[in-house]
Amino acid sequence: MKFVYKILLFVILCFFSWNYFGLLFIIAFTLYINIIHSSFCKKWYVFLLQTFVLNFFFNLSTTFWLFQVSWWEGLMAILGNSVVMQIPVFLTYLIVFKKQKYFPYVFIVLWLIFEILHTHWSFSWPWLTLGNSMGNVYYLVQWYSVFGVYLGSLWILILGMLFSQIKCKNIKQREKIIVPVVILILPCVISLCMYSSKQTTLEQPVQITTYLPSRNNESNFVKTKRLYSKLTGQNVEQLIVCPEVFLSSANIYSSAQKKSNFYFDKYLNKNPKSIIVYGQELKSKYNLYNTIVVKKQKNTVFRVKQKFVPMREYTPTFIEKIFKVKSYYNKNKQDYTQIIKKQEGFTPLVCYESIFSSFTANLATNSNFIILCASEEFMNGSRYGKKQYLNIVRLRAIETQKQILKCSNQGTSCILNEKGEITKILNSEIENIKININPKNSIYQQILNRI
């Protein structure tokens, strides 16, 4: 029964920390470590069962909203990630079973290695990277601009380990609380100082027009015609941005694609200095690509999405054979990101890619700002899923020290500054905005570039 009560308390703490106040997750993870450590005295199969139950409820209490997407995909994602999270836990058990005094050091190292490697697998769900839990208290983790979300994970791991070793009934043990309290408070104080001292004035703003279509169930031709009519006769900026998958799938060389481009070409011929950025699924004979298109009068370049949502967008071969499902999207070796950054000054990012800390930081190196084309339609209106996603994007703004324009279909479209603050929410179908540029790379980006 003691195990059940601990799990129940853990679930409550996880829910409130990931959705409302991130610092509570330190308490939750202290309990997580305590449950793992107390299971060491059990036989290996009992240990595996108890820790799997623990990881299952960790995933369930934080990403329960996945069931609103699809009960089958939600169940597979939660079960799959629970199994994957067993890797560092069971490896720790195998290494320190007979020498449990080494448990804190081995567990911390293995968990960090797991988090970093997890972002490099094709079938990855790094949503629950420990440091991401602090997205709703972004003002307390401004130091992510120096070491990124992984230092946040290390911070949580160390605090959880130190707090779990304190026995309140022992007076001498109570004195040990000073060290973790200092480790908890000092980074928060430093962050608040950084937060209050940062200047975010628009010194060199880039002017952009965003278009958030009110209708999504139209043909590509009708969508582009509607966009043309909305832009014509209005005070529109040179850079025009639309959300992810603004246009539905089409073969890039097909007559249907040429037809849908008619009004794009017509607008660009009248406004030769304009640039239209939009998302579209592009097909070849056998493949489908989730693409950001950067279209100008004389040329068009593409950036293909590289990170895919497990099961929904990418399925490993062995799972394809078992469940008879196929991967949805493909990667493309030819990438024009560097050309886009050099010529236009911004980094185009596609929705799920922003969950990956080091990937986003590396991609945004040597650019002025980030355009995140997103679609949150798959969340089926889940306010918790959308809230968590927005909080994670806040952390990417802090890590890169670049402003982010989040242009989202059925989600929160907004501008985030270098502090992770929302400076403007975009509610209108067409809106003219300003974004400040920062050509300098953050310390976190500089460190990643040297690794």
List, for residues 164-196, the tens digit of each pLDDT value. Answer: 888 655 556 666 788 899 999 999 999 999 999
Percent with pLDDT over 90 in the chain: 54
Do residues 244 and 209 both lie within one domain? Answer: yes
CATH number for the domain that contains residue 420: 3.60.110.10
Do residues 280 and 349 both lie within one domain? Answer: yes
Do residues 406 and 283 both lie within one domain? Answer: yes
Q: Which amino acid is at 204?
A: Q
pTM, rounded to two decimals: 0.91
Distance of alpha carbon 416 from alpha carbon 397, whole angstroms: 7
Q: In this predicted model, what pLDDT tens digit does every residue of 62-105 receive, in sequence order?
A: 999 998 878 887 888 899 899 999 999 999 999 988 788 889 89
Distance of alpha carbon 92 from alpha carbon 427, whole angstroms: 49
Residue 101: per-residue pLDDT: 84
DSSP assignment, residue 95? H
Do residues 15 and 60 both lie within one domain? Answer: yes
Q: In this predicted model, what pLDDT tens digit does every residue of 244-302 receive, in sequence order?
A: 888 887 776 667 677 778 888 899 998 888 999 998 887 776 677 788 999 998 888 88
Distance of alpha carbon 154 from alpha carbon 172, whole angstroms: 26
**Counted domains in the chain:** 2
Q: Which residues of 220-253 are buried (b: 16+ CB within 10 A; e: fewer)?
A: beebbbbbbeebeeeebbebbbbbbbbbeebebe
Q: Using 50, 70 and 90 to split pLDDT, how confident is the model at 315?
A: low
What radius of gyration, in Å, describes the C-alpha atoms of the chain? 23
- Between 164-178, 317-331, 417-431, the lowest mean confidence (pLDDT) is in 317-331
Q: Using 50, 70 and 90 to split pLDDT, how confident is the model at 448?
A: very high
Do residues 27 and 73 both lie within one domain? Answer: yes
The token duo for 398 is 């802090």
Higher pLDDT, 3 or 318: 3
For residue 201, is pLDDT > 60? no
Helix residue ranges, H only, 271-350: 317-323, 337-344
Average pLDDT in the 324-346 region? 74
Percent with pLDDT over 70 in the chain: 90
Distance of alpha carbon 103 from alpha carbon 1, whole angstroms: 25
Q: What domain range is 296 assigned to?
A: 205-450
Do residues 175 and 310 both lie within one domain? Answer: no
Do residues 184 and 210 both lie within one domain? Answer: no
Average pLDDT in the 194-203 region? 76
Residue 393 contacts residue 404 (beta carbons within 8 Å): yes
Q: In this predicted model, what pLDDT tens digit does every residue of 134-147 receive, in sequence order?
A: 999 999 999 999 99
Do residues 67 and 49 both lie within one domain? Answer: yes
Do residues 261 and 374 both lie within one domain? Answer: yes
Distance of alpha carbon 90 from alpha carbon 104, whole angstroms: 14
Residue 386: per-residue pLDDT: 93
Q: In this predicted model, what pLDDT tens digit does every residue of 203-218 receive, in sequence order?
A: 678 999 999 987 777 8
- Between 13-17, 32-36, 325-329, the lowest mean confidence (pLDDT) is in 325-329
Do residues 259 and 300 both lie within one domain? Answer: yes
For residue 202, is pLDDT > 60? no
Which run of H or E residues covers position 183?
Answer: helix 178-197
Residue 15 contacts residue 59 (beta carbons within 8 Å): no
Q: Of 139, 171, 197, which one is at a domain's C-terminal end?
A: 197
Distance of alpha carbon 255 from alpha carbon 446, whole angstroms: 45
Higher pLDDT, 314 or 369: 369
Mean pLDDT (the chain) is 87
Q: Of 197, 228, 243, which one is at a domain's C-terminal end?
A: 197
For residue 328, is pLDDT > 60? no
